Amino acid sequence: MQTSSDPNSSRALHHQIAQDLTSRIGREEGYCDRLPSEATLCRIYGVSRVTIRHALQHLENAGLVCRRQGRGTFVVPAAERTTAPQPDPVMGLSDILQARGMKVETELLAFGLEPAPPEVMAALEPDGRQALLLRRRYLIDHVPVALTEVYYPPAFRAFISEHDARVHSSPRLMVDHIGLRLGRTHLTVDVTEARHALAAELDLPCGSPVMVMRRITCDDAGTACEHSTLLARPGIARLSITAHGGNLPDTDFVPRGPWPPAG
């Protein structure tokens, strides 16, 4: 049996497969009580087992199926399906700016496998020496306000098209296209000087201060899946943190050099 998954579509294959399986569940023979095995689905759709597992993860997240290790994937009876609690909206920089009524333009500056810098190697521990780089510039009223440099494990390249990289925020790519459930995020905030290349990209005088926000995001199993750096020109935003219970959990103050500074 052949299916209609289209490798040239802007939508990731596992999304197409998940949608096709959803249309079959409870309606077609062989899809009412239990789904075909992963190996069978690979033959049906002509894709890898990794792609099938991502598609099945989407169905499980939606409450349509239940996967049992060593036994297979079973259809959850309609009467037993519950609507999973909706998480907070997944927001990226462009989502936040647009929510504030700003007209944001996004330019895709780089997308593809690139040598991973040492800090990315340390965080993501990718196979080999490469990681998937997504580099974008954001403009408001045609004025460049920020750059983002995001690295992912190289395997993510199979699930993110150039179109996806151009229009979707990093959190949405990880949740909606890779099928991850996000867990812990570690943020650091710093200030640096804009050197020649960065100053030109942000249309700033050389030596201007630039806010640097670095983020390492892990999935719900604790595996790092994103190393992101945001470089923002001064004066466009302030960092706001909301704490619950009167404390900032896992907060630290790390001096960059001897303290107090000399002079």
Summarised one tens digit per residue, pLDDT across range 169-192 is: 898 898 878 878 788 888 899 999
Of 74, 58, 49, which Cα lies nearest the Cα of 16? 58
**pLDDT over 70 at 262, yes or no:** no
Q: Mention every residue, 6+ apart, whose C-beta is less than 8 A from residue 141.
A: 103
Strands 72-75 and 65-68: antiparallel
**pLDDT over 50 at 10, yes or no:** no
Residue 86 has a pLDDT of: 46
Residue 244 has a pLDDT of: 57
- Does the global pTM surpass 0.85? no
Of 201, 216, 210, 206, which Cα lies nearest the Cα of 232? 210
The pLDDT of 209-221, averaged and rounded, is 90
In the chain, alpha helices (H): 13-24, 38-45, 49-61, 93-99, 118-124, 162-167, 170-172, 196-201
Euclidean distance between CA atoms 233 and 200, whole angstroms: 12
214 close to 226: Cβ distance less than 8 angstroms: no
**pLDDT over 90 at 206, yes or no:** yes
Question: Which has more confidence, 244 or 226?
Answer: 226
**pLDDT over 60 at 252, yes or no:** no
Residue 146 has a pLDDT of: 93
Most confident stretch, 90-99, 113-122, 221-230:
113-122
**pLDDT over 70 at 111, yes or no:** yes
Rounded to 5°, the CA angle 10-156-62 comes to: 70
Whole-number mean pLDDT of the chain?
Answer: 83
**pLDDT over 60 at 56, yes or no:** yes
pLDDT above 70 covers what percent of the chain?
80
